[in-house]
């Protein structure tokens, strides 16, 4: 005869329903945790409730409680000292997640020292790796509680774990999206500041993406006068065309690490403008042919004009710095960058107005005869000896030729910018060095732009080599990792295991529950599978519901079997996706290098054959490749008997 439901059980069911409704509707973490505790003590169901979350990744603690009052201080003191109460440690040690009784504990809840000794229930909370916790409930003094109530508390803790896991995942995704938007915005601002246009060229299709706000730099592709010559190529200066194509072709062929070229283009008004193109091939196919290239296109006409002006200034200074001071001062004042002349005894001979402005010197009082540069700039008694920022005069004297140096700030002016100093020797009629002419250029923005370009290239590489759904390596990266692993195995004489996985009847789940559930299942399966491989191993998704493991440095075939067994056990537990509790299994095919084959194609083929055999043998199992499988598999394939 069925036992009647106890009043406590009936009230606990109502509280459990209220907690589940809260988990479905509430998105604010503190409100959710506090609401769960409040429901557990509502209507005197229990004396007190406490929920503790431990984020081991960032070292933080999140708590909520109801009914504890000042007793809560004891548990907080323990948590601040990185100490877990006995009840929390005991329930977290239970791998099955079962709720436990506790009547003697150091937390202030279990056996709290009252005259009537109280009893508590503790159950673990496991949201995800690195985020765990526990729920402790102080029961009524005379509770009518048994296994059914413990099961209810276990189920409630599991639901809280799932809800918190989803809540944290949604928040992390939102933060990643915000950070991505901020990075893209900063990248666009950097390109705008440098007046550089971003281009992304699909070499196979010929499609070219350009920055919308800089398209005027790259929109020379509209003409169709000569179908055999690109319109852009036709606008390049005749003297530069061959050089541009040679540099581009050398990079596409892999002869250079970077495509970098300065050349002239005729603008719409018929004037010649200088442009700097910088780029790099970011993707190649399996035959090492370039597939995709990205870079920047920058108008450097003004810089070229400035360089030509500075070159003229330097030439004139070389010839007449001691005889035409006033004339040279007038000339260098027309330069857009800081210019300075210093003799070999460190005396400042002259500087232009730009340099005087940076150093906050009155341009009318720049006649600094007898003033040493190290005294004037740094208030020192001796020449500078900083190895990080070498002295231009010392370096020119040491090398007897022009030098290029990088200095943070311009001669101690206090502004944290990066300057490129070009120091050239000043020679007399006999060819002896009597000083240096120094030209500085602020390269801070250029360095920032180059850094952003490198970061963008790195991000594009990651996207090209990883599965967009699970974040696992994709087929392209898997093949590269397998090639490297086989090369290593050949050197060391170790064995290598290849495990092909195919989820059983995944198509049925996808067709009946929808692609959203199917995608969620693939993500959850990928996370479980990742926990079964070592750091040195590789796990990849080949597409659909197919996964693959590369097991490095195996002693024998049994090592691969151990991993296969762990995979089957890991997937034996139900997976909750969008409120659907799914039971999924997998079939595994195993091939071992070099036992089964000593080349990449062979070991992949034999792992696939073994997978087919596992499917034929009833699924939810693994099979090691053996030569006698090939005849059976070929026969089955010809009859069309394999069912995915």
Residues 6+ apart with CB under 8 A from 432: none
The residue out of 255, 283, 298 marking a domain boundary is 298
Residue 220 sits in a domain whose CATH number is 3.30.450.20
In-domain check, residue 341: yes
In-domain check, residue 191: no
Sheet containing 60-66: give its strands across.
60-66, 48-55, 131-138, 120-128, 100-102
Number of C-beta neighbours around residue 48 at 10 A: 23
96 close to 49: Cβ distance less than 8 angstroms = no
- The alpha carbon of residue 436 and the mean position of all alpha carbons in its chain are separated, in whole angstroms, by 46
DSSP for 439-507, please give it: EEEE-HHHHHHHHHHHHHHHHHHHHHHB-TTT--B-HHHHHHHHHHHHHHHHHH--EEEEEEEEETTHH
Beta strand 418-427 with 259-266 is unpaired
| Size of the chain, expressed as the number of residues it contains | 644
pLDDT at 642: 44
308 and 287 co-located in one domain? no
526 and 437 co-located in one domain? no
The model scores a pTM over 0.85: no
Q: What are the average pLDDT values for consecutive 10-residue runs of the chain, which has 644 residues? A: 70 87 86 89 88 82 86 83 84 87 75 60 87 88 80 88 85 80 60 64 81 52 40 74 89 90 84 87 89 84 79 63 57 70 78 73 56 70 69 81 74 65 82 81 68 65 82 91 91 92 89 90 90 86 92 89 92 90 92 91 93 91 89 52 42
318 and 294 co-located in one domain? no
3-state SS class at 248:
helix
> Nearest to residue 194, comparing CAs of 59, 347, 296, 346?
296
Q: Is the peptide bond before 594 cis (omega within 30 degrees of 0)?
A: yes
Give the domain range for residue 440. Answer: 304-446
The residue out of 298, 320, 348 marking a domain boundary is 298
In-domain check, residue 565: yes
- Residue 12 exposed, middle or buried by CB count within 10 Å (0-12, 13-18, 19+): buried
In-domain check, residue 456: no
441 and 529 co-located in one domain? no
Q: How far apart are CA 209 and CA 202, in angstroms?
A: 8
In-domain check, residue 594: yes
261 and 353 co-located in one domain? no
Residues 6+ apart with CB under 8 A from 630: 609
492 and 626 co-located in one domain? yes
**Tokens at residue 329, please?**
């001062």
293 and 422 co-located in one domain? no
219 close to 231: Cβ distance less than 8 angstroms = no
In-domain check, residue 181: no
35 and 156 co-located in one domain? yes
pLDDT at 232: 55
Between the alpha carbon of residue 461 and those of residues 199, 220, 294, the distances in Å are 16, 28, 11
497 and 540 co-located in one domain? yes
338 close to 352: Cβ distance less than 8 angstroms = yes
pLDDT at 277: 86
Residue 530 sits in a domain whose CATH number is 3.30.70.270
Output the furthest CA–CA distance in the chain (Å, rounded): 120
Residue 103 sits in a domain whose CATH number is 3.30.450.40
Domain count, the chain: 4
Helix (H) or strand (E) holding 90: helix 86-93
In-domain check, residue 188: no
pLDDT at 608: 93
315 and 237 co-located in one domain? no
DSSP for 594-633, please give it: TTT-SSHHHHHHHHHHHHHHHHHTTSSSEEE--TTHHHHH
122 and 243 co-located in one domain? no
In-domain check, residue 56: yes
Q: How far apart are CA 3 and CA 16, in angstroms?
A: 21
25 and 147 co-located in one domain? yes
The residue out of 271, 298, 325 marking a domain boundary is 298
């Amino acid at each position: 005869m069925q036992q009647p439901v106890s009043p406590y059980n009936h009230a606990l069911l109502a509280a459990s329903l209220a907690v589940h409704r809260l988990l479905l509707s509430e998105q604010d973490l503190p409100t959710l945790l506090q609401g769960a505790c409040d429901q557990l003590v509502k209507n005197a169901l229990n004396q007190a409730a406490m929920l503790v979350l431990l984020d081991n990744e960032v070292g933080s603690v999140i708590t909520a409680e109801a009914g504890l009052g000042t007793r809560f201080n004891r548990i907080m003191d323990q948590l601040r000292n990185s100490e877990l109460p006995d009840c929390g440690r005991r329930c977290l040690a239970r791998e099955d997640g079962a709720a436990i009784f506790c009547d003697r504990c150091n937390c202030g809840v279990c056996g709290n020292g009252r005259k009537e000794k109280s009893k508590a229930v503790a159950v673990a909370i496991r949201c995800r790796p690195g985020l765990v916790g526990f729920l402790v409930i102080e029961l009524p003094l005379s509770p009518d509680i048994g296994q059914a109530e413990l099961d209810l508390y276990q189920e409630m803790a599991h639901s809280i774990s799932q809800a918190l896991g989803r809540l944290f995942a949604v928040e992390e995704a939102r933060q990643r999206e915000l950070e991505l938007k901020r990075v893209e915005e900063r990248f666009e601002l950097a390109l705008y500041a440098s007046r550089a246009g971003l281009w992304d060229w699909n070499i196979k299709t010929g499609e070219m993406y350009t920055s919308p706000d800089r398209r005027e730099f790259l929109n020379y592709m509209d003409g169709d006068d000569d179908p055999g010559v690109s319109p852009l190529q036709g606008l390049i200066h005749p003297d530069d065309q061959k050089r541009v194509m040679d540099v581009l072709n050398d990079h596409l062929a892999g002869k250079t690490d970077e495509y970098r070229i300065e050349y002239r283009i005729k603008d719409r008004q018929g004037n010649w403008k200088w442009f700097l193109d910088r780029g790099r091939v970011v993707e190649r196919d399996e035959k090492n042919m370039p597939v995709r290239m990205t870079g920047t296109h920058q108008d450097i006409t003004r810089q070229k004009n400035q360089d030509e002006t500075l070159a003229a200034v330097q030439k004139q200074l070389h010839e007449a710095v001691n005889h035409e001071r006033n004339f040279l001062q007038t000339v260098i004042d027309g330069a857009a960058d800081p210019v300075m002349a210093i003799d070999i005894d460190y005396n400042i001979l002259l500087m232009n107005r730009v340099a005087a402005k940076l150093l906050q010197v009155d341009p009318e009082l720049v006649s600094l005869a007898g003033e040493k540069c190290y005294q004037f700039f740094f208030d020192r008694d001796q020449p500078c000896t900083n190895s990080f920022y070498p002295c231009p005069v010392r370096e020119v004297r040491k090398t007897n030729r022009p030098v290029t140096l990088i200095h943070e700030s311009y001669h101690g002016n206090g502004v944290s910018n990066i300057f490129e100093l070009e120091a050239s020797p000043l020679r007399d009629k006999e060819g002896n060095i009597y000083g240096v002419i120094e030209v500085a250029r602020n390269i801070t923005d250029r360095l920032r732009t180059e850094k952003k370009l490198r970061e963008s290239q790195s991000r594009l590489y990651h996207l090209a080599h990883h599965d967009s759904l699970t974040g696992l390596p994709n087929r392209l990266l898997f093949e590269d990792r397998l090639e490297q692993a086989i090369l290593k195995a050949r050197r060391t004489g170790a064995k290598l295991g290849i495990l092909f996985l195919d989820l059983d009847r995944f198509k049925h789940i996808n067709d009946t529950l929808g692609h959203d559930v199917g995608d969620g299942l693939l993500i959850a399966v990928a996370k479980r599978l990742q926990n079964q491989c070592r750091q040195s191993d590789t796990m990849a998704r080949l597409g659909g519901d197919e996964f693959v493991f590369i097991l490095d440095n195996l002693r024998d075939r049994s090592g691969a079997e151990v991993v296969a067994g762990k995979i089957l056990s890991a997937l034996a537990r139900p997976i909750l996706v969008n409120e659907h509790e799914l039971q999924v299994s997998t079939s595994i095919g195993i091939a071992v290098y070099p036992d089964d084959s000593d080349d990449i194609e062979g070991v992949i083929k034999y792992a696939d054959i073994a997978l087919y055999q596992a499917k034929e043998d009833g699924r939810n199992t693994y099979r090691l490749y053996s030569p006698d499988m090939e005849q059976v598999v070929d026969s089955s394939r010809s009859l069309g008997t394999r069912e995915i």
